[in-house]
Amino acid sequence: MKVKLDCIPCFQRQALEASRFVTKNINLQEKILRRVITELGAMDWTGTPPEMAHIVHHIVKQECKVNDPYKDIKKQYDDIALSLYPEMKGMVNNSVDPLLTAVRLAIAGNIIDFGASSQFDLNETIPNVLEKEFAINDFDKLLETLGRSKVLLYLADNTGEIVFDKILLETILNKYKIGKILFGVKGAPIINDAMLEDAEYVGINKLPGVEFIKIGIDVPNTGLERNSPEFYNLLSSSDIVISKGQGNYEALSKHSDIFFLLMAKCPVIADDLNAKIGDIIFKRT
Amino acid sequence: MKVKLDCIPCFQRQALEASRFVTKNINLQEKILRRVITELGAMDWTGTPPEMAHIVHHIVKQECKVNDPYKDIKKQYDDIALSLYPEMKGMVNNSVDPLLTAVRLAIAGNIIDFGASSQFDLNETIPNVLEKEFAINDFDKLLETLGRSKVLLYLADNTGEIVFDKILLETILNKYKIGKILFGVKGAPIINDAMLEDAEYVGINKLPGVEFIKIGIDVPNTGLERNSPEFYNLLSSSDIVISKGQGNYEALSKHSDIFFLLMAKCPVIADDLNAKIGDIIFKRT
């Protein structure tokens, strides 16, 4: 997906929210916002959202002199999600369809997205998503594909959310003979996306057969870019690909045979999916 | 309230949404957004939200060569709300507390706010607001004040929403001896705010004792500005003032003895009220 006009104000909101995680100085926040506006105004709007997000977040990092404005909030949401883990495991184990419940929870966890908005309520979202009707539901295709898969590529999205992903993976491993899980995390800080340290912190490294893949953030040497030939090889050599969240959908929606699990949280993504904001999506391309 | 940094990207979103009501031409939409960005970037950010909104919406009107980008959608929401009128009257009449139900409906109607977002679901909002707990609830003060009031100043907000206001006013007139209702509408088009023609279209002119007041939109000769001495006189000469929506709250929150009925729909207003987005507010200052 290319950037849409709606993304332009949204990047500014993101920059403002990011700067507030680092500084209470309103003059500095205004300086950052003005610089973001100036740079966006001078730019062609023909890139992808991740490319432009990188430029915008680079301004915040530079002006605030920090490498990772979301560092504290990322840890905080890993901890919040870990504290919910026992209760969520109970929900899955007591469910008549544990895999479907785990899928729903993994989508609920996708609300923890500071790219889309810092205004969300995880505790309200979980019960809602457990009941809500899917706007797109390819769950039956998941069952069929899992039954004949050995290698699972799982593209993670955000911190905190990866605890929900862990539950989904544990539920899959309980029932299906997956020999290898390739778990994709970001290779450098971008918004509140999960990195290797988060995955290890919440114990994804303890899952049998797991290996980590670093995904690039449109900056050289940060990992495997989602539009690189090496990444395409990875897609085609995996038996099943599960992709979490809006960012991965933006980057990969044109590829076939990917299971996209996400909550639609912005008008651009909702529109592309012919869905509404707040809709829950389980779409196999 | 002064403009906050959050308002800057929000104005751009508004401009983009407004332009889409008038043109499908993406190049023109981009031109408008770029001009809004340039003008906002060159401006001091020290005005009030209505002042800056006027500048931004003026760009849309000028570039699209229309006086009222929201003309069609305003009519559409007046019609939608009118079609809901019989059902809502039934809810009020069958309620154990008709006035409280009418107040809740009037707040639900405040979701029809294209300034806050064009992404809302009126049919979902109505039952939610009927059940939802108030974040601030000064309803008991309303009863007390209505009991000793003859002149009611009612500051309306949006089209469609004014049908909900009409029900609230009818419910008040049923029980209390209000001799005169001063119903404030905007004196010129701004976003989807209700004007005299809307109030007449939905039949507010049929309410006994009603008179209309045109409220200015920060442009000369559009009506009584909310920061003018004449307006202050109006406030102090009314026995009770009911104010709908975020815009009136932004303009008047520093005044005492006003009943503010609104749904918090943006982080700036929510923060000012110490509430969350989506919260319902019945606050007497």
| Three state DSSP letters for B196-244 | HHHHHHCCHHHCCCEEEEEECCCCCCCCECCCCHHHHHHHHHCCEEEEE
Instruction: Describe the strand order of the beta sheet including B240-244 as a list of residue ranges.
Output: B134-137, B280-284, B259-263, B240-244, B151-155, B180-186, B210-215
| Mean pLDDT value across residues A90-94 | 97
Determine the pLDDT at residue A49: 86
Within 13 Å of residue A162, how many CA atoms lie on the same side as its CB?
Answer: 31
Is residue B171 very low, low, confident or very high in pLDDT (cuts 50, 70, 90)? Answer: very high
Residues of A in contact with B16 (CB under 8 A): 5-6, 9
Q: Say whether pLDDT at A126 is over 80.
A: yes
Task: Return the closest-CA partner of residue B163 out of B215, B108, B119, B211.
Answer: B108
- Beta-bridged to residue A281, according to DSSP, are A136, A262
Task: Return the closest-CA partner of residue B178 out of B104, B238, B261.
Answer: B238
Residue of chain B with shortest Cα separation from A36: B41
Say if residues A249 and A221 touch (Cβ distance below 8 Å): no
Is residue B213 very low, low, confident or very high in pLDDT (cuts 50, 70, 90)? Answer: very high
Q: Say whether pLDDT at B118 is over 80.
A: no
Say if residues A59 and A15 touch (Cβ distance below 8 Å): yes
| Mean pLDDT value across residues A131-158 | 96
Determine the pLDDT at residue B88: 97
Mean pLDDT computed over every residue of chain A: 95
A272: its two tokens: 């592309």
Cα B62 from Cα A251, distance rounded (Å): 37
Say if residues B270 and B279 touch (Cβ distance below 8 Å): yes
Task: Return the closest-CA partner of residue B223 out of B198, B191, B186, B250.
Answer: B186
Residue holding tokens 């309306």?
A: B156
Could you tell me if A34 lies within 8 Å of chain B, comparing CB atoms?
yes
| Mean pLDDT value across residues B39-44 | 95
Determine the pLDDT at residue A119: 78
B198: its two tokens: 């809307």
Strands B280-284 and B259-263, bridge-based pairing: antiparallel
Distance from CA of B215 to the nearest CA of A (A): 30
Q: Say whether pLDDT at B26 is over 80.
A: yes
Could you tell me if A5 lies within 8 Å of chain B, comparing CB atoms?
yes
| Mean pLDDT value across residues B90-118 | 94
Q: Say whether pLDDT at B48 is over 90.
A: no
Q: What is the DSSP letter of B144?
A: H
Q: Specify the 3-state DSSP secondary structure of A191.
A: coil
Residue B25's identity, in one-letter code, is N
Mean pLDDT computed over every residue of chain B: 95
Cα A181 from Cα B79, distance rounded (Å): 55
Preferred mutation among B3, B10, B11, B13 to probe A, highest tally of A CBs within 10 A: B13
Distance from CA of A70 to the nearest CA of B (A): 19
Q: Say whether pLDDT at A274 is over 90.
A: yes
- Beta-bridged to residue B266, according to DSSP, are none
Is residue A137 very low, low, confident or very high in pLDDT (cuts 50, 70, 90)? Answer: very high
Query: Which burial class, exposed, middle or buried, applies to B253 when counting CB atoms under 10 A from its CB (0-12, 13-18, 19+)?
Result: middle
For CA atoms A84, A85, A90, A93, the dihedral sign is: positive
Q: Which of residues 41-100 of B touch A (CB under 8 A)?
A: 41, 45
Is residue B140 very low, low, confident or very high in pLDDT (cuts 50, 70, 90)? Answer: very high
Say if residues B206 and B176 touch (Cβ distance below 8 Å): no
Determine the pLDDT at residue A164: 98
Is residue A51 very low, low, confident or very high in pLDDT (cuts 50, 70, 90)? Answer: confident
Say if residues B127 and B83 touch (Cβ distance below 8 Å): no
Determine the pLDDT at residue B117: 78
Strands A280-284 and A134-137, bridge-based pairing: parallel
Determine the pLDDT at residue A47: 86
Q: First and final CA of chain B: distance in angstroms?
A: 14
Q: Say whether pLDDT at B50 is over 90.
A: no
Tell me which residue in B41, B267, B276 faces A37 most closely, judged by beta carbons: B41
Say if residues B203 and B232 touch (Cβ distance below 8 Å): no
| Mean pLDDT value across residues B6-21 | 96
A227: its two tokens: 């539009």
Determine the pLDDT at residue B32: 98
| Mean pLDDT value across residues A213-229 | 92
| Mean pLDDT value across residues B60-71 | 95
Task: Return the closest-CA partner of residue A133 out of A100, A90, A88.
Answer: A100
Determine the pLDDT at residue B1: 81
> Could you tell me if residue B203 is left (phi over 0), alpha (psi between -120 and 50 degrees) or otherwise beta?
left
Of A2-6, B156-160, B274-278, the range with the highest mean pLDDT is: B156-160
What percent of chain B is predicted at pLDDT more than 90?
90
Dihedral (Cα; A264, A233, A159, A35), 10-degree rounding? -70
Q: Specify the 3-state DSSP secondary structure of B126.
A: helix
Least confident of A198-202, A209-213, B241-245, B267-271: B267-271
Q: Say whether pLDDT at A118 is over 80.
A: no
Determine the pLDDT at residue B2: 86
**Distant-in-sequence, close-in-space partners of A54: CB < 8 Å, separation ≥ 6:** A190, A217, A218, A219
Distance from CA of A197 to the nearest CA of B (A): 32
Query: Which burial class, exposed, middle or buried, applies to A214 when counting CB atoms under 10 A from its CB (0-12, 13-18, 19+)?
Result: middle
Strands A280-284 and A259-263, bridge-based pairing: antiparallel
Distance from CA of B1 to the nearest CA of A (A): 16
